[in-house]
Structure 1
Amino acid sequence: MSNLLYLAAVILIISWALGFFVYSAGSLIHLLLVIAIIAVLLRLIGGRAV
């Protein structure tokens, strides 16, 4: 399950980066970034960081 969370966070960060440069998704892409950061922080706080 933690691998899936990490994969989702990476996908969201990549999506945010693409949206930031393309300006096509508006404020939704920033919401995705926040979700990705929270997912990474939860993984780090949980002590299962690679």
Structure 2
Amino acid sequence: MRTAFIKRNPLPGHDPLKCQIYNCYHYLNHYNLFGSSYLDGCEQGLRAIHEAVYR
């Protein structure tokens, strides 16, 4: 059944920006919950999103 569904409704392609946003969300959430050890990941994720949007 799943195969038939995917044939009629193909999954969207891999979007690198979407992955960056998804990962950055989790880094920000962990930063909020667990502190500064996640700050570097937040900064890298936000920088990557900024470069992708404003290139």
> Which moves more between the two structures, 15-24 or 35-44?
15-24
Q: How many pairs align? A: 41
State TM-score, norm by structure 2. Answer: 0.51
Q: Please identify the structure whose Cα radius of gyration is greater.
A: 2
Identity of aligned residues (%): 5
The gaps in structure 2 that reach 5 residues or longer are: 1-14
How far apart in 1 are the matches of 2:32 and 2:51? Answer: 27
Higher relative contact order structure (alpha carbons within 8 Å, sequence separation ≥ 6): 1
State TM-score, norm by structure 1. Answer: 0.54
Match of 2:43 among 25, 34, 45: 34
Which consecutive aligned stretches of 4+ in structure 1 deviate over 2 angstroms post-superposition?
A: none
The gaps in structure 1 that reach 5 residues or longer are: none
